[in-house]
Every structure is written in C-alpha cells, then in structure tokens.
Chain A
Amino acid sequence: MNLIHDIRESYAQVLRRRWFLRDCGIGLGSIAASTLMNSDQAAAVSSPDANPLAPRQPHFAPKAKRVIYIFQAGAPSHLELFDNKPELTKRDGQLPPAELLKGYRAAFINPNSALLGPKFKYERHGQCGMELSEVLPHTAAIADELCLIRTLQTDAVNHAPAQIMMNTGSQQFGRPSIGAWTLYGLGSESADLPGFVVLTSAKGTSGGASNYGSGFLPTMYGGIPFRSAGDPVLYLSNPPGVDAESQRASLDTLQRLNGLAVKAAGDPEIAARIQSYEMAYRLQTSAPELMDLASESKDSLEKYGVKDPKESSFARNCLLARRLIERGVRFVQLFHEAWDQHGNLTAGVKANAADTDRASAALVADLKERGLLNDTIVVWGGEFGRTPMVQGGNDGRDHHNRCFSMWLAGGGVKAGLTYGQTDELGFNVTENPVHVHDLNATLLHLLGFDHTRLTFRSQGRDYRLTDVHGQVVQGILA
C-alpha cells in the first residue's frame, strides 16, 4: 500500500511539474525546449505537454533569431525618401500617361491629377552606392548595411486595412500578427520579459491593437505594449501605500495559499497561476529596469539622439528596442504613426525624417557594434507608398499601393543591396515585385520557417501568415 501511494505521489509531482512547465506562461522555457514545429501535422503544435513559450527550433537552421520591426505608419513617401525619379521632376505638373491609370484606384484623388516632382535631392552612398534622399543623412551612413527594397506591393489603399494587411497578412481583422506568429514558432528566450514587446511614438495607429494582436493564436503570443508614460506595463505599480516588502509578503501568503489549493484540488492550472504571479512580481522589477536609461552612456544617448531619457520619443524607443533584444526578447515592434502627408509633404517628410533617421541608423550601427546584428533582423517601412500624382495644390501625395519602399538589415539579408525596379515615375513595379506576402514569407524564412508549414488550425482550417500566397525573395538573401 505504501509503495503504491509513494509512486502515485511521485507521479503526481512529475505530472504537476509538466503541467507547470506547460502553463507557466513566460519563463522556464529552456527546460522544456522541444522541436514541435517539425511535426508533420502542424496542429500538433498545440501538444499539451510543452510550455507554449519555451524556445523552439524552427524548421531549418535560422539566419536570425530576433526581429526589430520599425513600422512607419501612415505610409512614408517612397518618392521623397528611397526611390529617386528624375523623370518625375521633369514631368512635374503634367498629367500621367492615360494607360498607367487603367484600373487604378487611389484613395482620395482623381487619379488623373498632375504629376508631382520629388521634393528632395538624392545622392549615392556607401560602397554600394545606394541612392537615398538628402533627408536621411544618418541612414545614408549605414547604407552598406541595408537591403533597400523598392518594389513592395500591397492590396489595400486605406490605412487601417493596409496596416492590418502588412502586419497580419490579411485585411480582415482577427488574424495573428507577424510578431505573434514568430513567438508561436520560436518561443521566448526571456525569463523576465514578454517575448513580443510593442513600443509606440507619435499618435495612435489606424490599425490599433490588431496590428500586434494574437488573433486566433493563444493570447500569450500577442504583443505587450510597453508604455512610455505612466506604468510601462499596465497595472505594474502597487496600489498607493503598498511598499515592496508588503508586496512580497502579500505574494508569499498568496502563493502559499494557492499552493495548498494545488494539493487539495489537484488542478495544475493553480500551479500555473502561482508561476504567473511570480512572473508578475519579476516584471515589477525588470520592466522599470528596462525603461530606465540611467545605465546608458551619454555617448549612447547622443548616438540615438535621445534628448530626454525620460521623455517618450522614437529615438528612445529605438534604444529600448536594443535593450529588449539584449534581454532576450524575440520580437520588438515600434509604431510611429506620422507619415500621412496628403498635404504639407515637404515639411512633413522632413520633420518625420528628422525624428526617425538618426535613431534608426544608430540602432543598426549599435546592434552591429554589439555583435547582435548578425542574428537580428531590422525592418523599416510602412503600409503603402504615395502617388506620383499630386494631391491638393503642389505639396501632397495620396495613398499608393502599386509600389513602395522598405529596408531590411541584419541576419541573413544581403547588405548594401538595392532590390527591385519601379518605372520612371515610381508608379508601377517593372522588375522584381515583392508583395506583402513575399516579404512575410521571407522574414519567416530568415527565422528558419517554411512559411507554408508554420500553421495554426482555427475553424477547421490551417491558417498561415501568408494565407495561400507568398514566395521567399531569394534575391535579397545573403
């Protein structure tokens, strides 16, 4: 009798431990590392025995382990920043060729509006001779690290659907974001911080929280916003009057009482809850530590252009992104919604470039210096481009989804490359189009996934980030 009892007790402990690992949320990952994604049946990903956030091996050896996705929301003008069009300057004020407009829809304007010459000068930079606009001097200085794609294409012409499209591969709400897919595929390597962190500057985005949501994936894969004002993570601060000692004492009692409940009820979910409260406690220290730039050198702050280390800014977010990556966070996404220049194009683009150019470049340089760029992908771009045609008087551009530019840097991406050709007006792609699905397929490829096999079953269908589309862009792989 005693022996049987002992075996049962012991087995129960093993079992509890396993459940504990599975449901503990964040942390403890390395203990339960496994390679679930190699399973033929993608649905097996939801195997009950593994911690869903444990680090996992992807389908094949990855080129990169982490992503920093700088989402420039509002749609930056490719014509003012990345895609030099002297012909557009020449034809400033003329109507576009009629054949170009067949079946074309802009968002606001009658497509048959006069062409508008680019507002800035371009020069070639770096060993590679990448052509970049004069408003991006710092980006120009890291041209040799960049892979500039000039031929992005998307399906949507309105902001909210297009942002959702870029981030989730669908214009319909409810699909998981690329960050969530990445975390689902690779798990988290941070014991003290969430695996997918979101940082925001400028105003709220059109796509809102769906841009970084978990969709039909379990909630734990969604992006967690770290906020620049107030609590960095919601409800991080204890109520007024509750000091650190009281918090610890309260949690100790809570954990012991919950521990008694594990014994009484035998529900492994309670053990998981104990773990969540511990992680919450750790987060109360780790999140403020992360957000506190006191340990950053003056030089570092200057490089990024952080003026006030306490004040929210795009520059501060870039620096925080590096700190997050250093602490094992898998996917960091910055949102900077500022680029919707229907009017005030010249001043608007100039101001936005001034806000973002230095820090974006500093981030890439900093990652390189710290040896992190090798296996981190940095992505920079928005949801669509802007029309070669004018909107309003002579200083605005409408939404344009036929071509736009983005840049990538880091793990597995060919550096110093300008990829793809658009026509002389920057209207259509003439060579090497890269649809949103192709971009996403490529990003997953760099992370070690066959994008057709990273799937999740919902409503009887195996969904993927790239829907039924997407080709890896071989031409940009290092």
Chain B
Amino acid sequence: MPSRRQQFLLCLLLIAAKSSAQATAGEKQIDFARQVQPILAEHCSQCHGVDQDARKGGLRLDTAEDALRGGESGERAIVPEHPEQSELIRRIISSDQDTLMPPPSTKNPLSEAQIETLKQWIAQGAQFESHWAFTAPQKISLPAGHSAHPVDSIVSSRLQEDGLAISASASSSALCRRLYLDLIGLPPTPQQLADFETQGLEATADKLLQSRQYAEKWARHWLDVARYSDTNGYEKDLQREQWAWRDWVINAIDQDMPYDQFLIEQIAGDLLPGATQDQIIATGFLRNSMINEEGAIVAEQFRMVEMFDRIDCIGKGVLGLSTQCAQCHSHKFDPVSHTEYYGMFAFLNNSWEARSWVYSKEQQQTLQDLRNRMSALEGQMKEQRPQWLQEQSQWEAALTSQLPPWVPVVTTELGSISGLNHPVQEADKSIIMLGHTSADVFMISAPDLKGITGLQLEALNHGDLPHRGPGRSSTGTWGISELEVFTKAPGSSEWQKVKLVSASADFSSPENKQPDGKKATGPVSFLIDGSDDTTWVSDRGIGRRNQPSVAVIQFEQPLDAPEGTELKIAMRMTDMLGCCRFSLTTHPQPSAPPVDHAITLAIQKPAAERSDVQQTAVFNGWCRTVPEFKAINDQIDELWKSWPTAVTSILHLSERPARYARTTSLLDRGNWDQPRQPIEPHTPAAFHNFPADASRDRLGFARWLADRKSPLTARVAVNRVWQAIFGEGLVETPEDFGTRAPVPEYRELLDWLSVDFMEHGWSQKHLIRTIVTSAVWRQSSQASPEMLERDPRNRLLARGPRFRAEAEVIRDIALSVSGLLSERKGGPGVIPPVPQNVLDYNYVYPSYWKPAEGSDRYCRTVYGFRKRSMPDPVMTSFDAPNGDFSCVRRVRSNTPLAALTALNETIFVEAARALALRILREAGDSDSSRADYAFLLCMSRHPDDQEREEVLALLKSRRERIADGWLNAREISTGDAAKLPELPAGTTPQDAAAWTLVARVLLNLDETLSKN
C-alpha cells in the first residue's frame, strides 16, 4: 500500500506534467478555432457579435474584416503582428475599470492565460478562420502508416501523438452483445451467440442491418428528435392519431431511405410531384408539435408556438444549431439574425394544419377501383347524352337564376357564451372556430336591415379542420342544436328575439332518435324548434361527409329596422362547426336550392376556374335531374356505400393555395401579436446558397436543407449516429455545432464520415457498418485507472464504449431475455401498465388507459403509447424524453428511482417471473447449469466461479426461506398466493419462486442494463 505521501507525490507529478505542457504552448502556432474563437464567443460576442441591435461601440469581432477595421472610436481593434498597438489588447489589460473589457459588470473577466493567447495570436498575424461548422466538410487524406480503415486510421494517428494506442478488442461474446445492442437494441440469444462465432462480425452486422428490429431500434432516435407523442400536450393532453407517422419512420429506416430524401419527404412530402399517401404521412414530422386545447386560448397564438417549435426541431435535429435566440433577436453567437430566423419561418408558415385519413395498401387499391368505376359510369352517362354539356349549362343557368341574392354578414363582435372559444372572421367573411371545442358561439353585426327576409348559414370546408371539416369532430362532422337570431335597437340594451318560421337545407341526415327517446338528430327543422335536444346534422355518409352544407331560415316577418340596429346570431352545437358563413337576403321566399351546396358554390364560378372535383360535382348534380340516369345514379350511390373505413388518420402539412397565402412578418421580441415588417422566405447567409432556380416554398427549403453543399446536415446526422453507438457524439453537443460548442477532438473523423455518408447515398446502414467494422468500435471498454483519470469521458476513444442502455433498450432487454418479447408490426400505441396513483393525477383523466393484455403487452417499447403529461414512469426513470420538444441528446442519470423501477415495476417483475420459468425450462436440472444459462441470457457470457457462487448462495438461502415457510412460493412466482405458475416438467413451485428472486437480481445487474 502506498503511503499518503506517495499519493501526494503522484499528484504533484501530474500537476507538473500539466503545467509544463502549458509552458511550451507559447512557442506553438495558436489555433484560431480551438483557442481564440472560443474566447471571443464566450467573452466578446454578446456585445460585439452578430446581433446588430445589441452591438456596442459599432465594433464587431467575429469577422476579420470588421475586427481589423475597428469600431466607432476609430481605433484599430486589431493590428496584426502588433498586439501593443491593438485596441483590443489595450482594453482587455486596462487598469481603468471604465475602459476594461469585458466590462467588470458582466462578471465575465478574461484569465491571464486567455489574454496571453490573444496577444500571441495577434503577434502571429491575427489569422481569422470562419467557424469550422459553417464550411462544408471534406475528406482528409488518411494518415499514412495506419490502418486502412478510415476510423482506425484517424483515431490511431491522433492517439499516437499522445503516446497512446487503440485498445485490444473486446472478447468475441462481448462484441456480439455490443453489436446486437447497437444494431437492433436487443441482446443476442444463446443461439445467436453461437452463430456469431461461426459467421463473424461483418456477416452478422449485415444480417442485423437487414432486420426489422434494426429499424425499430434506430427509429427511436429519430422519434426523440421529432418529439413524437401520442397526445397533444398542455393541460388537456388529449389523444392524437399519429402512429402512422411513427410507422413511416420505422419503414423508412428499414428500407434505408437516403437521409436527404428522408428529410425532404418529412418536411415537404406533400409538395412532391404526385405525392403518395406515404409522402403525405411523412409530413407528420413537423406536426408533432404540442397542440394547446385549453379553454379560451387564441388559436393563432399557439399556432405560433407550434411554428417556433418546428424551427427549433429543424435547428437542433437537422442544422445542429440553436435557433431559439433568433426568435426574439439576432443570435448573439451564431450567424442567424432575427430576420433570417423569420426567413426560415416563412418557408414553413404557409401550411394548413391538416388532418387526413390513412388507408391500408388494399384500401388504397379499393379506393382507386371505386373511383375508376365511378368515372366509368359518368363516362357512360356522357355517352348516352352527347349534348350533356349544353344541358348541364342550361340547368346551371336555371339554378343560378333562382338563387336568392345573399349578402354576407360582417361581424362587429364574435365570441362564445362560455368564453372558451374565440372565433375569427376571414376576408371572405367566413368565420373560423379553432382552439377549444366550445359548443356555443355568437356573432354580432350591424347590417343593413331593410326588408331582410331570411338568413343563410353555410357550413364550409377549411384546411385546418379534420378532413377539411366543415366540423371539428374526429370525422369532420358537426351538429347544431339551435340557432337563434336577435336584434337590438339603437340605444337599447335589450335583445329582441326574431321569430324564425321555416328552415330548409341542401341536405339533412334522416331523423335518428337516441335510445333515451328525448334526443334526436336529423332534419334542419331541428335548428329552429326551440329544443336543444334535437340537432340538425348533415352527414352524407362515408366518403361524402366532408363537404359544405347550407341551411336557409325564413323570418316570420321581414326585418325592417333602423340603421344602427344590431343583429345577433347565436348557435348551440353538439359537435362544433369549424368554418361557417352567415348571409342575409331580401328574397321574398328564401330557401335552400335543391342541390348540394358544393354545387351551388361551384356554379357561381366560371366553368374554367372550377376544380376537377367541382366539375364532377356539378356534372353529378345535373345527372340527378335526368330521369333516364336513375339506374346509373343508384349504382354510383351503391359504390359510395362501399367506401372503406380508414385505418387511422394523420396530422400532416398541406400547402395553402395562393388565395389563402400567408404573409410572414418579423415578430418583435418573438411576440405573436407584434408583427413588424413582412419577411420573404430566405435562408441564413452563413450557410450554402439557396439555389436561384429553386422554388421559395417548403419544398425548396427542404431541398436546401438536404443539399450536399450544406455544411451541417450530414455532419449532424453522422454525429447523432456516432452518439448512439459511443454514448457521446464526436461533437458533444449534437444540438449545437455553433461557435459556443467545444471544437471536436475528432473533427476530421466527423468530416470524413460525413462526406463518405453523402457519397454513399446518405445511407445510414453504410455509415453504421463503417463504424462497427472498425477496430476503434471493437476495443474493449475496460478502463485503466490511468486512462480514467486522463480521459474520464473517453473523448480520445482509446477504449470501447460502455454506458447504460437507453430506456427502451433496458425494457426490451428484460422482455427479450425473459422470452416474453412479442412481435408487432406497428399500429396504434400500446398502452403500458402504470400505477393507479399516476393515472389519477391527470388534469383530464385518460379513461382510455387500459393496459394491453396478451402478446401486445410485451411488444417492443418503441410501440408504447406516449402521453406527454403522463409519460410512462419507466421511460422517465431511464431518461426517455416526453416529447414536449425536440431532444437530440438524452441525459443518462443513475438514480434510486431507476433502481426501484427495475426492481419493482410490473413489467420488470413479470419479466423476472418469466425468466425464471425459461431458465427452468431450457437449462437442464442442475442449478449450476441454470446459473450459467441465466448469465448467458442476460449478459451473453458465463459467470466466473465467484459470480456463480454468489448466485447459488442466494438461490440456496431462498430455497431455505421457502421451505421454512417464510416465503410463499406461488405468490412470488405468479403474484397470487393461490395461483400456480406454468411449471416446466420436473420442476416445483419452489424452484420457480427461488429462481424468480434470482432472476430479479440478474435483470438489475449493471452489466445487464448496460452496453459494454
């Protein structure tokens, strides 16, 4: 044993070694990127950086041109080779507190060493370099005399400089386990361990990369970036249907979709020519933002919050750059100005918050067949009546001439009686009701009320509504139980009810009485029958329900009211309308025309301006007036009835057409209600150019992000893959490659891999294969005390990675080794069991929370239902993010709560019981061979003698406690003192119980929980 003195001497030696290294640095060339730039970023950029508004003294120090010129004082901040003449140096060494920089009030002083570095740098000529991360990566020529493998070549040459070398390879079984955990997130079975010995690493890697399990493991990393969740977040945190997007990611990764395409489809798949359903689903990516449904919110405010979240996600996940600063003002450290932030924002800002049905492959085929058959029938009708167009035009003309003249109501006040919803009126006088689904709204106006005979209510489609509405139910339907009209004479405070006498509609659902005999839905007369129990519903059935409807209501007496009379229209709804418009008429007998409102809307447009859908609607409308077509019309109706029910729906983006185009404005201090000057879509100047011929829309932006010229896109993606395998990225801060991020130790490696990634078709599988075939990856993770001291976080990569697995992998390990793991091919989120006291503490109780039973209960964790405000505590204990915002780097904590989780949580306990039975079933009848097998399952190796003894000792003492009656064997092995487990032949409940207790220990071993 060394004495304290010996320890002290050792410390001294280490300190001496450190300071001598510093002393020699003086003669070395100063490295701008590593030594100077961080000082400027840390101590100067706040006031002398990118942000023009915050700039002091007109001095900017982050570019050579500005720094050499100096600021308003006229002094040259930097005089190359002459530190003594440089104002910068004079100011940082000033003894005058008023001129000293950084100002003492910032409490951010420079150290002596930093001052010395700046002096030397200026003495050496003050060479500036642009920040490495904003210059496109290049492949260096690999260092000679080292391995041919690029990773090994770069790392071993670097290690050699420090007198180090790559460590020896880990054992074959350790490598096998590492490979399985890295590639598919599951440990190898005993059979797979044996196969590895014969097939070797490369063949095994190739096999694993082709498996679905690979995609299930690697999709999870992107789901973090994309803040995927199955609920909307905020107070209400209601369910959303978004799993089709999650499955899209798994499929894309399974197929090794090139990463550039992966990005383009997710950001703008809907804008690709002939966009497929899958490409539209992909745009669910940006829709993963939280949605606030709290009462009384202003929808536009929280749409802006969603927009900020989308830019944040692209910033962290694609650009590797923090953008949040530039939301309110120009970035202090990185080249993203306030204007440029809104330039990127503008690309994304012209989208509907759409929701559409998702059909299975078979259903898509069925839909195509149905459409084909319908157009064939339409073709038949046209053949039968060659003069159809002429007849149709005459019909249209007759219809148009009968339309009452309608004057839209311009509201002076809009609201809901409860205050929960704040409707807004658009330029086309339609009224949009987003936000809370309050069921009662009113509109006040002061129209000309001379001889007004009736009122028209149009229920209209809108891109922000589910399936374009017009309603806000999950199918886009709506129901209005009562509509009332009031007037208020000028100067009066009393609202007088207007008597409504008849209501007509283009379409009403047949009357449908509820079982209680009181409530009913159906005819439009319900709208004005004075009862809230009866509701007007206009549901044309599946496939045709998301179209406009109209109701016309006659007043008993025409209104003749003096100018200044106010009109109030109030509606109580069961399912809320999302978009509507009110109009008034003086027509003596106003009523709804006998055709679908979609046709009425279409025929008011010149034929040439009608969309295909409108053309077809008008044609079909006319066909219904031709008696000879009855049979064919009936056939078409029959076809509609076979319209398939979609598998699910998806929140996605779709571009707003020109007439709804949004102007993006710079938001003062990032406040949604403080728009300043309009901003055109543009990208930050510090990045690669936006191609002159590219469209300035979302698709153009997506293509710009995924451009091979991008300095950051490939690096950020490669860094994230490296991080998943080694525990930390080559750049430690994957969300921030900017000037404040530490310059990576292995920048050349990152750049080499990034270029290689792009050269190989942005293939993630190629990249992973490159990494896992390196000697660097194969290194043993065993750490010597010297290396632990010198490089505790393994930044030098002189040993293999060892770290606790991520939450999903830990749970999947338990399921896998216990034999419980079941296969699942996507689909809705699977509900995990959570304690009742967690369920009880929700703002809105999730009554749908019925934990899965049967095999789904044990499917891979990637398919687990994710509720933002109530994340599965197992996931939280092991640091999985809850999806509130983009997460590109998980922390790895090591807490008592995680220990309790792995010891006692339901699924882990079930896994321990199942593992015990598996051991008894598969490992022969000696406890010793069972112990060996158990180790092999959990840790892919056999125990050494000491470990085996520990296990057998626990087993023995447990058997004794059971025999002595202290423990109830059935209760331990099934959770129920009256229940027997399914015992393998020749085993006893006591065996099962004792082994359950041992299995629980093994599942909690650090080595079981870790990638080693």
Contacts and interface: CB of A to CB of B under 8 A. Distances in A.
Residue from A174, A219, A265, A279 having most chain B Cβ neighbours under 10 A: A219
A352 B330 CA distance: 46
Contact of B894 (A15, A264, A273, A461): A273
A240 B1000 contact: no
B953 A158 contact: no
B899 A279 contact: yes
A245 B958 CA distance: 10
Contacts of A459: 316, 322, 324, 733, 735-736
Interface stretch (A6-14, A142-150, A418-426): A6-14
Interface centre among B295, B739, B741, B897 (most CB of A within 10 A): B897
B685 interface: no
A240 B802 contact: no
A49 to B, nearest CB: 9
B733 A241 contact: no
B957 interface: yes
Interface in A204-261: 204-210, 218-220, 224-225, 227-231, 233-243, 245-246, 249-250, 253-254, 256-258, 260-261
A410 to B, nearest CB: 28
A398 B296 CA distance: 10
A158 B302 CA distance: 11
Given A40-B109, A210-B884, A265 B869 contact: no
A104 interface: no
Contact of A280 (B413, B740, B784, B896): B896
A6 B896 contact: no
A224 to B, nearest CB: 7
A48 B574 CA distance: 59
B976 A240 contact: yes
A109 to B, nearest CB: 5
B6 A266 contact: no
A453 interface: yes
Contacts of A40: 107-109
Contact of B322 (A7, A241, A253, A460): A460
B893 interface: yes
B322 A209 contact: no
A207 B235 contact: yes
B108 A173 contact: no
A245 B966 contact: yes
Contacts of A224: 897
A220 B893 contact: yes
B297 interface: yes
Given A6-B1, A12-B785, A253 B954 contact: yes
Contacts of B891: 218-219
A399 interface: yes
B415 interface: yes
B837 A231 contact: yes
Contact of A237 (B109, B738, B904, B977): B904
A249 B841 contact: no
A270 interface: yes
Contact of A283 (B316, B894, B896, B1007): B896
A11 B7 contact: yes
Contacts, number: 277
Interface in B629-652: none
Interface string B993-1012: 10001001100111101101
B694 interface: no
B191 interface: no
Contact of B733 (A160, A269, A460): A460
Nearest to A14: B7
Contacts of B6: 7, 10
B898 interface: yes
B292 interface: yes
A234 B894 contact: no
Contacts of B900: 233-236, 280, 283-284
Contact of B802 (A12, A25, A246, A265): A265
Q: Chain A interface secondary structure, helix, strand, loop or mixed?
A: mixed
A268 B788 contact: yes
Interface in B1-39: 1-2, 6-7, 10
A160 B235 contact: yes
Contacts of B305: 172
B238 interface: no
Contacts of B1006: 258, 261, 269-270, 273
A160 B896 contact: no
Contacts of A158: 292, 294, 296-297
B975 A239 contact: yes
Interface string B942-964: 00101100110110011001000
A266 B972 contact: no
A249 B7 contact: no
A12 B896 CA distance: 25
Contact of B893 (A48, A172, A206, A219): A219
A299 to B, nearest CB: 30
A3 interface: yes
A228 B835 CA distance: 13
Given A160-B294, A254-B1001, A460-B334, A391 B419 contact: yes
A206 B967 CA distance: 45
A277 interface: yes
Nearest to B1012: A265
A231 B324 CA distance: 40
A234 B739 CA distance: 42
Contact of A25 (B325, B895, B946): B895
B905 interface: yes
Given A206-B235, A460-B322, A15 B785 contact: yes
A273 B1007 CA distance: 11
Contacts of A94: none
Interface string B878-895: 010010110000010111
Contacts of A245: 961, 966
Given A108-B418, A266-B785, A235 B904 contact: yes
Interface of A: 3, 6-8, 10-12, 14-15, 19, 23, 25-26, 40, 48, 107-110, 157-161, 172-174, 200, 203-210, 218-220, 224-225, 227-231, 233-243, 245-246, 249-250, 253-254, 256-258, 260-261, 264-270, 272-273, 276-277, 279-280, 283-284, 337, 342, 391, 398-399, 452-453, 457, 459-461
Given A204-B869, A249-B958, 11 more contacts: A108-B420, A159-B294, A173-B885, A230-B837, A239-B1000, A249-B957, A254-B1001, A258-B1006, A280-B900, A459-B322, A460-B334
11 contacts: A10-B6, A14-B7, A157-B296, A218-B893, A240-B972, A240-B977, A253-B950, A276-B894, A459-B324, A459-B735, A461-B324
The 4 closest A-B pairs by CB, nearest first: A108-B419, A241-B971, A460-B740, A12-B785
